[in-house]
Amino acid sequence: MQFNPKALITLPVLMVLMAPCSWAEPDTSASLSDAPAPSIEDTAPKGRLPLEELRTFTRVYEHIRNDYIKEADDATLLKYAIKGMLAELDPHSTYLDASSFEDLQRDTTGEYGGLGIEVGMQDGLVKVISPIDDTPAAKAGIESGDLIAEIDGTPVKGLSLGDAVEMMRGLVGTEIELLILREGEDKPLDITITRDVIKVQSVRWKILEKEYGYLRIAQFQLNTGIETKDAIKGMFKDTPDLKGIILDLRNNPGGLLQASVAVAGAFLDGGLVVYTEGRTENSNNQFHAEPGDSSNGLPVVVLINGGSASASEIVAGALQDHRRAVILGTQSFGKGSVQSVLELNETQAIKLTTALYYTPNGRSIQAQGIAPDIVVERAKVEAIRPNYSRITEADLSGHLDNANGGEEKNSKRREQENNERDGLFSQDNQLFDALNLLKGLNLFGGHRSNTAAESSSNESD
């Protein structure tokens, strides 16, 4: 599939390992090189450059040219000036050279080389926003919230995020050693990761306890919306009497905005999903779901955590505002800004924050995130059961059969069922709670029949 340079994406800081990205629709009416130059005066009203500050800049520039210990050419110094100017604006505005642009294209198609983590900066260290499913980083035990203090023995303090990203890149099959600071650990962790080609499977699904669908989205890519709807169709084909769906967006760093709108639309019968507001008219947009709820009005529980960012927050916020799903887990990351990629020339561009995202009810996601309706922390839990099998009526010799012909459940059968539940309970308590909540919603009228859903959809048409 050909890459669309006007695609709108919402990742935090993604590397090839991941490459920094987050795209928005660029202003095609004029490039930066076509914009009129602001006038220069000693006093600087809006639209005019301050003369004294420009004089200071040129003095600094000349000192570096003439006195710095290493000779630097003008082109390099001007590129550094651009990088520094953008870096000071916010964590997501950045300069894109040819290599960064190529990395960005790989990220949106879901295949690239590296470790498979999304990162940002915190207190001078590289912070892991989330590892991506089934990547070298996830397999090596990297967790959301980890702070990278050293890369192959080199301290991260003093490095820019771009420099740190560049150090973590490398040939497929080579190893990299990271010194990790993790909350709750008494000492730093040394983790060695082997670089690999990252192929992200965006959508996966399965059926839990024969009646409930589990839909996992790892990242929002070009075809995630279509794959989500296909997954829901697969659930209904496998389980015609499906009673509810769990949408797992934990540790999902985001991706394409169009994909997030399509995913939200799979659970909505039309309506506003998200809107953006910025300083320019081009930055003010609304994005609506198409009519038709692919999930047929089934109850939905959405799982989020601190690694759920950007496009994930758009989906969770939209379903929460429309009262279409219950959000369960912990507070999301809070990346609610829009970045536009503005071309400087054929090989250079800048990624500039130009707007903010808002949920349908007008909530800003930026630096706040989505608060779950039900807070459930990830925890290690263990069921307390007697170390012996309790005798049941079905174990007694000569017991009467069930009056309705139902399946008998002796102690062995009950122990088997308990072990199945305990497996999910101990491995993923948040998913276990989401499943129980879904059962409750289904019990108390949350289930909407397929016929009723189709009828409602036809009436709205």
Q: Over pLDDT 90: what percentage of the chain?
A: 57
pLDDT tens, 15-72? Answer: 333 333 333 333 333 345 455 566 666 655 666 889 999 999 999 999 999 999 999 9
Look up the CATH number of the domain holding residue 143: 2.30.42.10
Residue 388 pLDDT > 60: no
Residue at 354 is within a domain: no
More confidently predicted of 159 and 105: 159
Q: Which of 295, 310, 312, 337 is catalytic?
A: 310
Q: Does 87 have pLDDT greater than 80?
A: yes
244: enclosing H helix or E strand: strand 244-248
Annotated catalytic residue within 93, 335, 337, 351? 335
For the segment 336-359, what is each residue's pLDDT rounded down to a tens digit? 999 888 888 878 889 999 999 999
What pLDDT does 107 receive?
61
Q: Is 195 inside any structural domain?
A: yes
For residue 22, being part of any structural domain is answered with: no
Helix (H, G, I), strand (E, B) or coil at 194: strand
Residues 214, 223, 352: CA angle, nearest 5 degrees: 110
Within 10 angstroms of residue 328's Cβ, the number of other Cβ atoms is 22
Predicted confidence at residue 98, as pLDDT, reads 81
Please tell me the total number of residues recorded for the chain in this structure: 461
Structure tokens belonging to residue 454: 């189709």
pLDDT class of 209 with cuts at 50, 70, 90: very high
Q: Are 228 and 247 in contact (CB under 8 A)?
A: no
- Residue 235 belongs to some domain of the structure: no
388 is a domain residue: no
- State the residue range of the domain holding 195: 113-199
Burial of 134 (0-12, 13-18, 19+ CB in 10 A): middle
- Quick check: is 146 catalytic? no
**Does the annotation mark 321 as catalytic?**
yes
**With contact defined as beta carbons under 8 Å apart, do 144 and 133 qualify?**
no
Work out the angle at residue 38's Cα, subtended by the Cα atoms of residues 36 and 41, and round it to the nearest 5 degrees. 155
Residue 4 lies in a domain: no
Hey, which residues does 212 pair with through a beta bridge? 208, 244
Name the band, by pLDDT with cuts 50, 70 and 90, for residue 458.
very low
Number of domain units in the chain = 1
Range of 46-50, 92-96, 382-386 with top mean pLDDT? 92-96
Comparing C-alpha atoms, which of 113, 115, 79, 114 is closest to residue 96?
Answer: 79
Give kind and range of the element (H or E) at residue 301: strand 300-304
Residue 123 in any domain: the answer is yes
Active-site annotation holder among 321, 332, 340, 351: 321
For residue 443, name the pLDDT band (cuts at 50, 70, 90): confident
Task: Judge whether 310 counts as a catalytic residue.
Answer: yes
- For residue 77, pLDDT over 70 is answered with yes
| Within a domain: 25 | no
Please state the separation of Cα 304 from the chain's center in Å.
Answer: 10
Q: Which residues of 298-324 are buried (b: 16+ CB within 10 A; e: fewer)?
A: bbbbbbbbbbbbbbbbbbbbbbbbbeb
